[in-house]
Amino acid sequence: MIPLLMASAVASAQNVSIFDPASPPAESIRSLSVLVLAITAFIFVVVEGILLYSIFRFRRGCPHPHPLSRGPSDETGAAAGEGTEARETEPPQVYGSKPIEIAWTAAPALIVFVLVLVTARTLWEVNVPPPQPREGDNTLFVTVVGRQWWWEYTYDHYNGRELGFTTANELHVPAGGDGVPRRVYLALKSADVCHSFWVPRLAGKTDLIPGRTNSMWFQTDRPGLYLGQCAEYCGTQHANMLIRVVAESPGDFESWLENERKVAQPATEDASVSAGRSAFLAQSCINCHRVRGTAAQGTYAPDLTHLMTRQTLASGMVPNTPENLQRWVADPQPIKPGCLMPAFGLGDRERDDIVRYLLTLR
Ligand code: CUA
């Protein structure tokens, strides 16, 4: 069953199997899950086995009716001489047996004790308090804020360097693979309701709770895309609060960092782009969105400074293509019903100019 699950998970491009871990906390959780599954499967087989054995071994042959199903006034069967055999073979009733009682108390107690020990060990491996950032630690520190219904990532430190930029929905992290472990520590907060950060192949679920900072860590040696999902019901679009973690080689990650740290490039000579930029800055877009290097300094919605470096829109729902961006700017509600960005009733010309401007945010 488990190898089957694993095989089907590996075959899928959208691998979110806890049985295919790519990070130490996820490996600890896989080992614990396999052990718990094995123990409970054994108990299941024993209990069901005894049940089936009893059903077949002690079943009463037909056509005798059950003696207890007859009322005291219903004596026709007995008078006719039927059912007497069934009454005689009612099994002996056992009240109390010390050895059996000791056995069925001690065995479950022992099993529970073993499960407590392995669970405690797993918690110990998974719950590591974040260290202080220092030079040469090859460690990335990111603050994650859960919002209805997207993820805000503020890059705090990498390898001791202070970063301090914010992006959204796609978390880029460095992969090891060159023999140097590169850990990622996330500080998890919420701006509204409870959310839960879950990327099954990297680590277990950790809740994001208003007024509290939780932490988690992971570390992978395999570059690639790791998919995840908000795992705590947080409102209408909970199911579309998707997570994408892009693990890159250290070199690729450094160049991504360098680009993300820059402010947006000044508008080009293109007339429609600068018209779009003016329209964007004149509209209420800037009350919520930020484009570093411009007057748009909103912090309520995703930071758009490098919007076009992201592969998806709407927290992983649709590919970030010019067509989807245009649909989104025109009216986000058909794409993500209930999301907190309304349609602004832009004219076609204005909308297209704004999209042209957004397409320059690389
Ligand atoms: Cu956020 Cu569910």
> Among the atoms of ligand 1, which is closest to the Cα of residue 235?
2
Hey, what domains does the chain have and what are their CATH numbers? 2-59+92-126 (1.10.287.90), 140-252 (2.60.40.420), 271-358 (2.60.40.420)
- Would the pLDDT of 304 be above 90? yes
Question: Would you say the CB of residue 236 lies under 6 angstroms from ligand 1?
Answer: no
Residue 174 pLDDT class (50, 70, 90 cuts):
very high
The 10s digit of each residue's pLDDT in 115-137 is: 999 999 999 999 999 999 999 99
Question: Would you say the CB of residue 204 lies under 6 angstroms from ligand 1?
Answer: no
For ligand 1, atom 1, the nearest C-alpha belongs to 195
The 10s digit of each residue's pLDDT in 202-239 is: 999 999 999 999 999 999 999 999 999 999 999 999 99
Sequence-distant (≥ 6) Cβ neighbours of residue 102 within 8 angstroms: none
Ligand 1 centroid–CA 8 distance in Å is 27
Residue 155 and residue 142: Cα distance in Å, rounded?
5
Share of the chain above pLDDT 70, in %: 88
Where in 110-266 does DSSP place strands (E)? 140-147, 150-158, 161-168, 170-174, 183-190, 195-198, 206-208, 214-219, 224-230, 242-248
Q: Give mean pLDDT, residues 137-163.
A: 96
Question: Would you say the CB of residue 144 lies under 6 angstroms from ligand 1?
Answer: no
Ligand 1 centroid–CA 94 distance in Å is 53
pLDDT score recorded for residue 62: 63
Q: Give mean pLDDT, residues 59-87.
A: 53
Question: Would you say the CB of residue 241 lies under 6 angstroms from ligand 1?
Answer: yes
Question: Would you say the CB of residue 205 lies under 6 angstroms from ligand 1?
Answer: no
Q: Which residue has the higher pLDDT, 88 or 265?
A: 265
> Among the atoms of ligand 1, which is closest to the Cα of residue 149?
1
Enumerate helices (H) and strands (E) in the chain, giving the number of each.
10, 12
Question: Would you say the CB of residue 238 lies under 6 angstroms from ligand 1?
Answer: yes
pLDDT score recorded for residue 267: 61
Judge contact between 169 and 151, C-beta under 8 A.
yes
Ligand 1 centroid–CA 15 distance in Å is 20
Question: Would you say the CB of residue 176 lies under 6 angstroms from ligand 1?
Answer: no
